[in-house]
Amino acid sequence: MTEESFPSEAVLPDAEATEALGARIAVLMRPGDLVLLEGPLGAGKTTLVRGLVTALGGDAGEVCSPTYVLLESYAVRSGGIATVHHADLYRLRGRPTAPWDEVGLGDVIEDPTAVTAVEWPESWEWLGGQGARVLRVRLDYRDDARTAAVGWETDDGA
Ligand SMILES: Nc1ncnc2c1ncn2[C@@H]1O[C@H](COP(=O)(O)OP(=O)(O)OP(=O)(O)O)[C@@H](O)[C@H]1O
Ligand SMILES: [Mg+2]
């Protein structure tokens, strides 16, 4: 990602803007990629995933916060991407060890035909070390709007 091709910081005045950012991120995605979505409660993480899934050919209506099941998977169709896995680790934050099997993330992260989006990844340090390309998105509140900072964590995303 270069500054010319994608702004690393954006102001998101409404939910549609957050979805549109998800759609712009969809263009960057390749099978196996990981998207880490950071930011406070209600900042727009799930909304961004909805935009991502829609842009990849999935059903926006299916995308909700997987707070109770921790992990949802949506069928999409875009290039070699057949699935978007969507995890919400809010209830697991602060846990000293990552309960991979409990969540099912260990399997999906190795799915070569999927993109995986993870809300509340902060305590999951291993997420950067799985060999996948990792895009980090930080959503925040600023005055009446929201902001987003987007950047590749891995070198090969440019
Ligand atoms: N840029 C924006 N401006 C105003 N409202 C927004 C924006 N983006 C999303 N919203 C709205 O904020 C609310 C919360 O969004 P969302 O559920 O996506 O947040 P979240 O970060 O996933 O929350 P959680 O931390 O609980 O998982 C929704 O009503 C959504 O429509
Ligand atoms: Mg959410």
Which protein residues are within 6 Å of ligand 1, measured from CB?
Answer: 12, 14-15, 17-18, 39, 41-47, 65, 88, 119, 146
**Residues 61-89: what's their mean pLDDT?**
88
pLDDT at position 3 is: 38
Domain-located, residue 9: no
H or E, element range at 111:
none
Distance 40 CA to ligand 1 centre (A): 10
Tens-place pLDDT, residues 56-70 = 999 998 898 766 668
29-38, 64-73, 127-136: which range is least confident on average? Answer: 127-136
Domain-located, residue 3: no
Q: Which residues contact 112 (CB under 8 A, 6 or more apart)?
A: 31, 32
pLDDT at position 108 is: 85
User: What six digits make up the tokens of 48?
Assistant: 């961004």
Domain-located, residue 103: yes
pLDDT at position 1 is: 45
d(CA 103, CA 87): 8
d(CA 78, CA 55): 9
Total-model pTM: 0.91
Q: Which residues contact 57 (CB under 8 A, 6 or more apart)?
A: 76, 77, 78
The domain in which residue 58 lies consists of: 17-157
Domain-located, residue 25: yes
Domain tally, the chain: 1
Domain CATH code at residue 112:
3.40.50.300
Q: Closest Cα partner for 118 from 22, 45, 21, 59?
A: 45
Most ligand 1 atoms within 8 A of CB, residue of 11, 21, 36, 46 to mutate: 46
Tens-place pLDDT, residues 95-134 = 766 555 567 777 888 899 999 999 988 766 555 556 789 9
